[in-house]
């Protein structure tokens, strides 16, 4: 072989070696990339599955399987095995009406059926006006009041536990569902429902945990939200769970009235006895409200009772006909009498105890609070009175309904009500949708124009924040006859619906007003102009239609015996009662 051939063969071998090396490099790169990915996955798996549980420095508060620590206004305090929560935080999480009563140096707090007075620094307290002793008192620190929450489980209807290992306080409401499960294998509790999420805790096969699903924490398929025995909240794979055992089902409050309310006020003064309704029925009605009770003038919570034998017969008649009885308790527009009571806890308590005594003595189904003409500065005091009355009535299963005016009047007539607060406290708030132009008006006008009624319904549901299923529409069975003479306006006493045609002259012409949803009459007589906006079946029907249109809770009618008998057939048809 010549030297030239040898050099040529050597060059070919060298080229083949280079090509071989070039072909080998992509495979090597892939191996390197895979190794890096594997290392990253390993690190991620280690990082997200490594458990490093540290005891919280700040006591965490978990309420009904939601960690509320970031929302706390003051720290939770653990002292002498008592768990203290500040009154501000109790107000935020459990009782919006809790307050400090400066006059008697006590905290007033309530739950569904408990009202408690907690003197600061004292262990003897009152629950529903009965004395009892608790383990530790309310304490004051740095101008904040701290409630011995773990000593008041029965009042708030909760179970309170302190998980010392993690420094977590758990609070479970006893009216909510409570379910547990047992781990069927060793499992990781994840921060989020994902394999790559941080591991918060580990549970071993056989460990139990609480099912912590909530609507505000949606869980994707294959995962379940749980709370460990240490109070840690997280997610586990559902396939690692054993069967779920329901320990307690959620309590559902039964409605005290099924379907719409149709109430009629059966008014009679304190100078006469209850009407005798024996042998009669009222079609389309399921609640009657006789005027049994009136605040005694400057009586410091005392009540003038007007039941007697006639009232007992009235109650028996109502129950025989299937009507609930919610008598009204009226302040008779006694503004100073009302203020005297509203501004003093012990006088409010006295009035509440009087009401409770009447409800139980006469086996009443509820009570109708009719306090009108109050000082505007007593607005919050009135709401507080209702908040204190509410749990006491709940304890005996009685209904609380409260009458209010339209949100567009004067200080003592309209501005004295916090309608939003009242609607949250009471079972029903009744809008007395009448006296748009009342006896003291300087201008003649309708008692309850359809446009005015609807505008105010919208205000209740809108700016006042009242739920439709709490709002009852009050409807008048009366109107007024206005007289204009020599530039002066006057109104005679109210005219009952059934007497309208007797009051008007035969020549008077009725004209329908589409905006007011009423017939209007105007005529001249003896040098004066007479005007009447009439309440009749057509105008009442228009108001009843508003109840359906806005899905309201029902109707209330003022007052019995002002109406023609035929009106009840209409009411029955419209309300389905």
Helix or strand (DSSP H, E) at 37: helix 3-49
pLDDT of residue 216: 87
Q: Which two tokens stand for residue 461?
A: 């549901």
Q: Which two tokens stand for residue 433?
A: 């949708």
Report the alpha-carbon distance of residue 577 to residue 544 in Å, rounded.
Answer: 13
Backbone angles phi, psi at 166, to 5 degrees: -115, 0
Q: Give me the residues paired with residue 544 across strands.
A: none
Helix or strand (DSSP H, E) at 490: strand 488-491
Report the alpha-carbon distance of residue 545 to residue 551 in Å, rounded.
Answer: 10
404 Cβ partners below 8 Å, 6+ apart?
417, 419, 422, 429, 430, 431, 432
pLDDT of residue 53: 63
Which of 470, 433, 110 is CA-nearest to residue 256?
A: 470
pLDDT of residue 440: 85
| CB-count exposure of residue 204 (10 Å: 0-12, 13-18, 19+) | exposed
Q: Which two tokens stand for residue 269?
A: 């003064």
| CB-count exposure of residue 74 (10 Å: 0-12, 13-18, 19+) | middle
Q: pTM higher than 0.75 for the full model? A: yes
Strand, helix or coil at 547? helix
pLDDT of residue 47: 47
Report the alpha-carbon distance of residue 374 to residue 72 in Å, rounded.
Answer: 36
Backbone angles phi, psi at 144, to 5 degrees: -120, 140
Q: Contact, 265 vs 556, CB < 8 A? A: yes
Query: How far from chain centre, in Å, is Cα 163?
Result: 32
pLDDT of residue 215: 86
| CA dihedral of 548, 367, 296, 330, whole degrees rounded to 10 | 10
- ∠ CA 17-23-29, nearest 5°, is 125
Q: What is the pLDDT along the chain (577 residues), one digit of tens a residue?
A: 544 444 455 454 555 544 444 444 566 666 665 656 654 544 444 444 555 567 899 999 999 999 999 999 999 999 999 999 999 999 999 999 999 999 999 999 999 999 999 999 999 999 999 999 999 999 999 999 999 999 999 999 999 999 999 999 999 999 999 999 999 999 999 999 999 999 999 999 999 999 999 888 888 899 999 999 999 999 999 999 999 999 999 998 888 899 999 999 999 999 999 999 999 999 999 999 999 999 999 999 999 999 999 999 999 999 999 999 999 999 999 999 999 999 999 999 999 999 999 999 999 999 999 999 999 999 999 999 999 999 999 999 999 999 999 998 899 999 999 999 999 999 999 999 999 999 888 899 999 999 999 999 999 999 999 999 999 999 999 999 999 999 899 886 799 999 999 999 999 999 999 999 999 999 999 999 999 999 999 999 999 999 999 999 999 999 999 999 999 999 999 999 9
CB atoms within 10 A of CB 378: 20
Q: Contact, 368 vs 331, CB < 8 A? A: no
All structural domains of the chain, each given as residue ranges with its CATH number in brackets, are 60-161 (3.30.457.10), 177-248 (2.30.30.40), 270-475+536-575 (3.20.20.80)
Backbone angles phi, psi at 313, to 5 degrees: -65, -35
Strand, helix or coil at 539? helix
Q: Contact, 367 vs 403, CB < 8 A? A: no
Report the alpha-carbon distance of residue 453 to residue 549 in Å, rounded.
Answer: 13
pLDDT of residue 51: 54
- Of the CA atoms within 13 Å of residue 14, those in its CB half-sphere come to 6
Strand, helix or coil at 330? strand
Q: Which two tokens stand for residue 277?
A: 């309704």
């Amino acid at each position: 072989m010549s030297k030239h051939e040898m050099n040529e063969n050597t060059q070919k071998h060298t080229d083949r070696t280079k090509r071989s090396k070039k072909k080998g490099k992509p495979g090597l790169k892939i191996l390197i990339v895979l190794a890096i990915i594997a290392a990253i996955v390993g690190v991620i798996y280690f990082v997200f599955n490594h458990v490093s549980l540290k005891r919280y420095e700040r006591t965490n508060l978990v309420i009904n399987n939601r960690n509320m620590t970031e929302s706390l206004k003051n720290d939770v305090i653990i002292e002498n095995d008592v768990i203290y929560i500040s009154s501000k935080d109790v107000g935020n999480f459990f009782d919006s009406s809790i307050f400090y009563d400066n006059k008697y140096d006590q905290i007033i707090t309530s739950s569904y059926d408990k009202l408690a007075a907690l003197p600061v620094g004292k262990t003897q307290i009152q629950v529903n006006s009965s004395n009892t002793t608790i383990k530790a008192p309310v304490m004051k620190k740095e101008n904040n009041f701290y409630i011995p929450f773990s000593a008041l489980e029965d009042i708030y209807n909760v179970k309170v536990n302190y998980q010392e290992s993690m420094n977590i306080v758990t609070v479970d409401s006893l009216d909510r569902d409570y379910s547990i499960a047992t781990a069927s294998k060793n499992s990781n509790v994840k921060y989020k429902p994902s394999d790559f999420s941080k591991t918060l805790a580990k549970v071993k096969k056989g460990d139990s945990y609480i099912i912590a699903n909530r609507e505000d924490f949606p869980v994707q398929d294959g995962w379940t939200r749980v709370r460990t025995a240490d109070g840690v909240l997280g997610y586990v794979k559902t396939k690692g769970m054993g069967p779920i055992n329901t320990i307690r089902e959620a309590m559902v409050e039964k409605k005290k009235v099924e379907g719409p309310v149709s109430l009629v006020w059966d008014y009679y003064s304190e100078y006469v006895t209850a009407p005798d309704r024996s042998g009669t029925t009222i079609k389309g009605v399921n609640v009657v409200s006789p005027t049994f009770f009136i605040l005694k003038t400057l009586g410091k919570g005392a009540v003038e009772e007007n039941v007697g034998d006639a009232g007992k017969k009235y109650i028996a008649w109502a129950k025989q006909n299937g009507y609930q009885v919610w008598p009204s308790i009226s302040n008779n527009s006694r503004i100073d009498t009302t203020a005297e009571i509203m501004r003093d806890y012990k006088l409010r308590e006295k009035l509440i105890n009087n009401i409770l005594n009447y409800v139980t003595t006469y086996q009443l189904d509820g009570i109708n609070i009719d306090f009108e003409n109050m000082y505007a500065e007593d607005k919050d005091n009135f709401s507080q009175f209702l908040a204190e009355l509410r749990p006491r009535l709940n304890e005996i299963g009685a209904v609380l309904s409260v009458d209010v005016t339209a949100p567009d009047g004067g200080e003592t007539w309209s501005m004295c009500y916090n309608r939003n607060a009242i609607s949250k406290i009471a079972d029903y708030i009744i809008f007395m949708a009448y006296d748009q132009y009342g006896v003291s008006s300087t201008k003649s006008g309708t008692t309850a124009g359809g446009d005015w009624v609807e505008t105010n319904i919208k205000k209740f549901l809108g700016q006042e924040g009242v739920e439709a299923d709490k709002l009852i529409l009050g409807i008048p069975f009366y109107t007024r006859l206005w007289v204009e003479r020599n530039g002066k306006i006057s109104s005679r006493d109210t005219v009952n619906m059934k007497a309208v045609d007797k009051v008007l002259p035969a020549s008077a012409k009725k004209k329908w007003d589409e905006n007011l949803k009423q017939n209007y009459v105007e005529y001249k007589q003896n040098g004066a102009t007479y005007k009447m906006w009439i309440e009749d079946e057509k105008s009442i029907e228009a108001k009843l239609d508003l109840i359906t249109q806005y899905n309201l809770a029902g109707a209330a009618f003022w007052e019995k015996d002002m109406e023609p008998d035929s009106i009840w057939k209409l009411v029955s048809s419209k309300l389905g009662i």
